[in-house]
Amino acid sequence: MDLLGFARGPALKAALAIFCLGVAWRIAGFALLRIRRDLNKPRASPARFLTEGLIAVGTRSWPHPEFIGRTGAGEALGYSYHLGLFALVLLFGPHIAFFGSLIGIRWPGLPSSLITVISVLTLALFLAVLFRRVTNPVMRMLSNFDDYFSWFITMLVLGTGLAATAHIGAPYQTLLALHILSFDALLVWFPFGKLMHAFYIFPSRAINGALLARKGATS
Amino acid sequence: MPRSDLEMTVGDMLRQHGISRRGFIKFCTAAASAMALPPSVGVAMAEQLIHARRPSVLYLSFQECTGCLESLTRSFAPTIENLIFNVISLDYDDTLMAAAGEAAESARMQAMQDNFGKYVLIVDGSVPTGAGGAYCTAGGRSAVETLREAAKGAAAIVCVGTCSAFGGIPFADPNPTEAWPVMAIVGDKPIINVSGCPPIPEVITGTLLQFVTTGKVPDLDEHRRPKVFFGNTIHDRCYRRPFYDQGKFAKSFDDEGARNGWCLYELGCKGPTTYNACATVKWNGGTSFPIESGHGCIGCSEPGFWDKGSFYAAQSTALWGKAGESSPREVLELSASAVAVGGVIGVASAGASRLRQHRSAQDADQRDSNGDN
């Protein structure tokens, strides 16, 4: 079996199994955490908790007007590269074929040349994000190995994918194998690092909003 | 005194057949252009060949389907008859030669003896080693035995077809005959692999002509294939490449995309990982090649191409099990099992965490009550 066959076959299978196992483990562990009983009298109805929780998902996903001057640029950067990643992952023909082979559904994609442009822009945004993280004293203090490794592994997938599409540096099959292997590595790392925010981000915002509503505050 | 066939140069043979020097230079120039060499090389090749003795060539067929020989006989530049009558002395080929049985084997032994160290050995087919080599025998001798004997006196070995180059179909899992490519059995001779199932005829004749002309093994890639023919992928030279770049892919063999000639990547085309000259030299005298006929490349010139999954699955897709294609049902089963195991571990870890918290709360209460007392 060659490297590409290994990456698309046994390595992908193992990575997917670890990904599913890890995500289920983390979510089950998170959902069943002991929550301290709040003995205070609720300031709103349970329906209100739910509504405020859902509203918080929206309001916390946008900078607060008071802080927009300070956090707006960072949030724009974050949103931009996330949108770039979504476009690359979900709208590139070979990726659609990949997901189609796994889940049996396919959808229309974007032209490969446009995908290449988005890749380069996303790559630049990724570098900008790293630059911001290492130059901003607060961000640097908050960052640990998890942040840098999550950045690195995502960048690896992006970089090898771009190289494979553009046929840069090595034969296509080698680059494609490295791209798929790096994706396999990302799947393995995903549940155990900060990439897991993809699953946690909206539930945690909703829970915060609901808890604040219970205390009579709005988020 | 008349000269024997063995003593005659190519020039003598040409004159005997009434072929002019000019005609022969045209032939060599055509062959050189097929190898992407400048026309001046064709002239040099002709001059070299005219004064050279026709090299002896032995063609051994082992575990194969004769498709490679069928392909070779359809070479347009140079044609097979031009090659075997004017350029080489094909002293043994059990499919093409009129002689059979003992006479054929004697011809082979005689040619090997007369041209020891100088003949070119062409091998077609993989070499089975299982059951003591009994899966492929000729004249009571196994293929592996014949190969080892014939390889001893060969100047070079040209493996024609993916079976002799990389094992091909017989080598594919589960390889019931324990077949091997030639290079796994012969290690001390220059080996040129002309892979393909079958190889392009002009690539076979062009490689032979290049070796016969220069006496040197051409530049080879990591799989010992001549770079001049195997230096680029099909995808690099494919006329459908602009559609790949535009993201226009045929989704089935009879949709609008297929009718418009869009890229066949999503239908499993292996062009991006296949090194061969199909898109440039083409087939049937340059008429077309598989992709031009509407079918994706199956990657037949690459090692292990039978075991690389379905011909109809895109290369970016998952390879799932022996069938080579993932099925959503199998993926779902694997994912569901993993989620179930993960869920159990998660519940167990949350339970352990609660138990720890409960015990530490009890300890704290105990300490508080002890303090009160």
- B246 or B9: whose pLDDT is higher? B246
Question: Domain segments of chain A: what residues?
Answer: 3-15+48-214
B222 lies within 8 A of chain A by CB: no
Question: Domain segments of chain B: what residues?
Answer: 54-229, 234-307, 334-363
- Give the closest of A1, A111, A172 to B272, CB-based: A172
Residue B274 has pLDDT above 50, yes or no: yes
Residue B296 has pLDDT above 90, yes or no: yes
- Give the closest of B316, B325, B337 to A98, CB-based: B316
What is the rounded radius of gyration, in angstroms, for the C-alpha atoms of chain A? 20
- B125 or B368: whose pLDDT is higher? B125
With a threshold of 0.90, tell me whether the complex ipTM lies above it. no
Question: Which positions 304-343 of B are in contact with A (Cβ < 8 Å)?
Answer: 304, 307-309, 313-320, 325-328, 331, 334-335, 337-343
Q: Rounded to an integer, what distance in angstroms lies between the CA atom of residue A87 and that of residue A187?
A: 18
Q: Which residues have a Cβ under 8 Å from the Cβ of A186 and sit 6 or more positions away?
A: A153, A154, A156, A157, A195
Q: Do B347 and A176 touch (CB under 8 A)?
A: no
Q: Considering chain B, what is the average pLDDT of its residues? A: 87
* pLDDT tens figures, A115-136: 889 999 999 999 999 999 999 9
pLDDT at res. A63: 82
Report the pLDDT averaged over residues B154-171: 96
Look up the pTM and report it.
0.77
* pLDDT tens figures, B306-321: 988 889 988 888 887 6
Report which DSSP code applies to A165: H
Lowest-pLDDT range of A75-89, B70-84, B152-166, B353-367: B70-84
Q: How many CB pairs under 8 A join A and B?
A: 157
pLDDT at res. A57: 87
pLDDT at res. A39: 80
Q: Does domain B54-229 have CATH number 3.40.50.700?
A: yes
* pLDDT tens figures, A89-118: 999 988 998 898 888 888 888 888 888 899
Chain-centre distance for alpha carbon A182: 15
Q: Is the peptide bond before B198 cis (omega within 30 degrees of 0)?
A: yes
Residue B32 has pLDDT above 80, yes or no: no
Q: What percent of chain B has pLDDT over 90?
A: 51
Residue B183 has pLDDT above 90, yes or no: yes
Q: Rounded to an integer, what distance in angstroms lies between the CA atom of residue B28 and that of residue B210?
A: 10
Residue B51 has pLDDT above 80, yes or no: no
Question: Model confidence at A2, in pLDDT bands (50, 70, 90)?
Answer: confident
| DSSP strand pairing (B56-61 vs B89-93) | parallel
- Give the closest of B235, B244, B338 to A17, CB-based: B338
B250 contacts B269 by C-beta, under 8 angstroms: no
Torsion sign (Cα): B297, B174, B60, B193: positive
What is the dotted CATH code of the domain comprising B234-307?
A: 4.10.480.10
Q: Do B316 and A94 touch (CB under 8 A)?
A: yes
| CB contacts, 8 Å: B326 with chain A | 101-102
Q: Do B337 and A17 touch (CB under 8 A)?
A: yes
pLDDT at res. A159: 92
Q: Rounded to an integer, what distance in angstroms lies between the CA atom of residue B253 and that of residue B264?
A: 9
pLDDT at res. A168: 82
Q: Å from A27 to nearest chain B CA?
A: 7
pLDDT at res. B233: 92
- Give the closest of A16, A22, A33 to B342, CB-based: A22
| Domain A3-15+48-214, CATH class in plain words | mainly alpha
Cα nearest neighbour of B325 on chain A: A101
- Give the closest of A20, A100, A112 to B338, CB-based: A20
Residue B50 has pLDDT above 80, yes or no: no
| CB contacts, 8 Å: B233 with chain A | 171-172
Q: Do B251 and A180 touch (CB under 8 A)?
A: no
Cα nearest neighbour of A170 on chain B: B273
pLDDT at res. B6: 56
Residue A10 has pLDDT above 70, yes or no: yes
Phi, psi of B136 (to 5 degrees): -145, 110
Residue B1 has pLDDT above 50, yes or no: no
- B32 or B94: whose pLDDT is higher? B94
Cα nearest neighbour of B245 on chain A: A112
pLDDT at res. B360: 87
Q: Do B346 and A95 touch (CB under 8 A)?
A: no
Question: Which positions 260-299 of B are in contact with A (Cβ < 8 Å)?
Answer: 265-266, 272-273
Lowest-pLDDT range of A10-24, A176-190, B145-159, B239-253: B239-253
| CB contacts, 8 Å: B257 with chain A | none
Q: Å from B97 to nearest chain A CA?
A: 39
pLDDT at res. B162: 97
| CB contacts, 8 Å: A4 with chain B | 273, 308, 315
